[in-house]
Structure 1
Amino acid sequence: MLWIQYTLRICVLRLLLSALFLVVYAKTLAQQDRVLLNLKQENTSLIRQNQFFIQEVEDRRRAPGATLGKIIVFGRETPLFLPKSAEKELFSYWSKTVQKREQAYVPLYITIKDLALTEKRMGPNKVNGEAKLNVSFRWYRNMQAIELTSFQTTVTYGRTERDYDHAKLVTQMLDQSIIHFQKWMLGNVGKNAALARNLILIFKDIQGRNDGDTVFYHPKRPLIWDDFRGKGKVGSRYAAAVFTSFAYEGRSFPKGADMVLEIGLKVFMVKSMSWGNANARNANTIRHEQLHFDVTRVVVERFKERLKKADLTIDDFDSEIQYQFLESFREMNTEQENYDGETGHGINAGAQEKWDRKLTAEINRIYSVQ
């Protein structure tokens, strides 16, 4: 009888243990419906010399959120997730890597195009996997997105069905991406216009040789009658005519954190298009023509002032410069007509003297400042 009771107790105990095992196993399976991957930043001094900081991380994957793909757990595919969204997790991770944040640094926006792990069970205790990361880097200048560079990598691996450090694999790829950007930036600062923060406008007067068909404006080099080599118009009622104009040429280049825009200006007269009648080649006539040249030079100075006040941006300065050039060219023509109209082409001595004083003062002011 005792033996039967003992045997029954053992059977009941075994049943209880089996039930407990089933409960634990079921709980384990339930827990393995998904696997959480925690990103741990082990090297906070990975980026020591940075000129940027992480401003924002944007997830543009086909399936944004916390999902990372599927891995093999207990012989079956199991979803892999981050604790929070990829945007929050990667922002936190990279921000710990790039801790230094200064106002003069580039605010970096990172776009996640691909971040995924996939695994396949190839046989008993044999798993093949693939991890992908594809990110792009940009920043905003004057509310315009400036694309900088990108990073893409794919890692294939094989493993047993034992525990595998997926977190280490992912963090290594994340570290590689930010190191890639740091190297790119160090190699492009001061060389690449995409990183320029400010536009610096400078002007340069272009002087050439005066022994050809062109005379370049200079206050110490007034016009002489030998500069007037064109043929006058038959029947013209004017004593002389001078062809003056101006042009510009520009070049831009990065310098430190700035973009330098250099505008070269040419103010000139063309000898073959300028003429003077032989019986009118006197001091008064050539002085009148010289003031035409001065008018052009004064308008060029106003053109420079227009550009200083214009809304020139690093991303689009050429169209604005061309617009201001055309406006100044119209102003030059109008001013030349006003000059001839008020002075009667030099016949009205009082008006001629008034224009002479005004333009002489303007030219003196321009070159005293220079």
Structure 2
Amino acid sequence: MLSYCLTSFLVVVGLFQGPTPPRPAAQAPTKPAPAPPIIWSAARPLTAADFQGRPGPSDRLAGLTSAEIKAGAACRDFVFTGTVQATFDPATSWLRDPKKASPDLLRHEQLHFDITEIYARLLRQKLVVFQAKANCLKLQPAFNNLTKGVYTEWSREQNRYDAETNHGLNAARQVYWEKQTQVKLAQLEAFALPQ
């Protein structure tokens, strides 16, 4: 009974004090800056700590990898240059329960990032051919068409991977995809970024 009375007293005191005044701007809590994107590297696999986002209320999966292929093109003095990077976004990638994330779940999510690197390498390979015939006066439409085709293939492959492995729950298919992905990465090694 004493506990209840004490709790009630603290609530009443809080009511008499009125609303809490706003903090001065200098004391306002600051949000930490979002983690920068992680550039794909064979030497740097993803960890549970990299997944800093939160699932939405309708998300039913155990995890989500938000990866991108960042591509850019420019012409300087009528000389074409192109850049391509596979990146992972920690702020929008999440694991439902990071503390209980299994090695199997992390391997499945890593493979999404590895597939992204495969398509980044394919785009780099296509840029070699593209560079030889690039017309700097008509660069943007041609570059957009090139990247659109690669992005479409990449999206299909990501969806096929999830469908065939049942989001990593089909262990045999997961192993198959892991092996095939390593073979493809090796085949495209000439188009990897320097480590």
Q: What is the TM-score with the length of structure 1 in the denominator?
A: 0.39
Aligned equivalents of 1:369, 1:268: Cα separation in 2: 16
Report whether the alignment pairs 1:294 with 2:114. Answer: yes
Given the alignment, which residue of 264, 274, 292 partners 2:83? Answer: 264
User: Which ranges in structure 2 are unaligned for 5 or more consecutive residues?
Assistant: 1-33
Given the alignment, which residue of 144, 151, 156 partners 1:334? Answer: 156
Match of residue 96 from structure 2: 277
Match of residue 240 from structure 1: 63
- Asked whether the equivalents of residues 240 and 280 of structure 1 are also in contact (C-alpha less than 8 Å), the reply is no
**Structure number with higher helix proportion:** 2
Match of residue 212 from structure 1: 35
Aligned equivalents of 2:190, 2:140: Cα separation in 1: 30
Same amino acid, percent of matched pairs: 22
Q: CA deviation at 1:364?
A: 2.8
Residue type at the aligned position of 2:68: S
Match of residue 229 from structure 1: 52
Residues 265, 228 of structure 1: alpha-carbon distance in 2 compared, 3 angstrom cutoff: same
Aligned equivalents of 2:186, 2:119: Cα separation in 1: 14
Aligned equivalents of 2:71, 2:190: Cα separation in 1: 22
Report whether the alignment pairs 1:360 with 2:182. Answer: yes
Match of residue 347 from structure 1: 169
Aligned equivalents of 2:151, 2:45: Cα separation in 1: 22
Query: Which deviations, in whole Å up to 9, do the C-alpha atoms of 1:21-77 show, x marking residues without a partner?
Result: xxxxxxxxxxxxxxxxxxxxxxxxxxxxxxxxxxxxxxxxxxxxxxxxxxxxxxxxx
Query: Which deviations, in whole Å up to 9, do the C-alpha atoms of 1:253-273 show, x marking residues without a partner?
Result: 34xxxx431111121111111
Residue type at the aligned position of 2:72: E
Query: Which deviations, in whole Å up to 9, do the C-alpha atoms of 1:147-181 show, x marking residues without a partner?
Result: xxxxxxxxxxxxxxxxxxxxxxxxxxxxxxxxxxx
Q: CA deviation at 1:235?
A: 5.2
Aligned equivalents of 2:40, 2:125: Cα separation in 1: 19
How many residues align? The count is 156
Considering only aligned residues, what root-mean-square deviation do their CA atoms show, in Å? Answer: 2.1
- Asked whether the equivalents of residues 247 and 265 of structure 1 are also in contact (C-alpha less than 8 Å), the reply is yes
SS at match of 2:87: strand
Aligned equivalents of 2:59, 2:82: Cα separation in 1: 38
The structure, 1 or 2, with the larger RCO (C-alpha pairs under 8 Å, 6+ apart) is 2
Given the alignment, which residue of 120, 128, 145 partners 1:323? Answer: 145
Residue type at the aligned position of 2:88: M
- How do 1:1-370 and structure 2 match up within 5 A? 212-234=35-57, 236-254=59-77, 259-278=78-97, 280-310=100-130, 312-367=134-189
Match of residue 26 from structure 1: none
User: Which ranges in structure 1 are unaligned for 5 or more consecutive residues?
Assistant: 1-210
Residues 235, 280 of structure 1: alpha-carbon distance in 2 compared, 3 angstrom cutoff: farther
Residues 369, 307 of structure 1: alpha-carbon distance in 2 compared, 3 angstrom cutoff: closer
Match of residue 131 from structure 1: none
Residue type at the aligned position of 2:46: L
SS at match of 2:188: helix
- Asked whether the equivalents of residues 68 and 87 of structure 2 are also in contact (C-alpha less than 8 Å), the reply is yes
Q: What is the TM-score with the length of structure 2 in the denominator?
A: 0.72
Query: Which deviations, in whole Å up to 9, do the C-alpha atoms of 1:101-121 show, x marking residues without a partner?
Result: xxxxxxxxxxxxxxxxxxxxx
Aligned equivalents of 1:260, 1:312: Cα separation in 2: 9
Q: CA deviation at 1:369?
A: 6.2
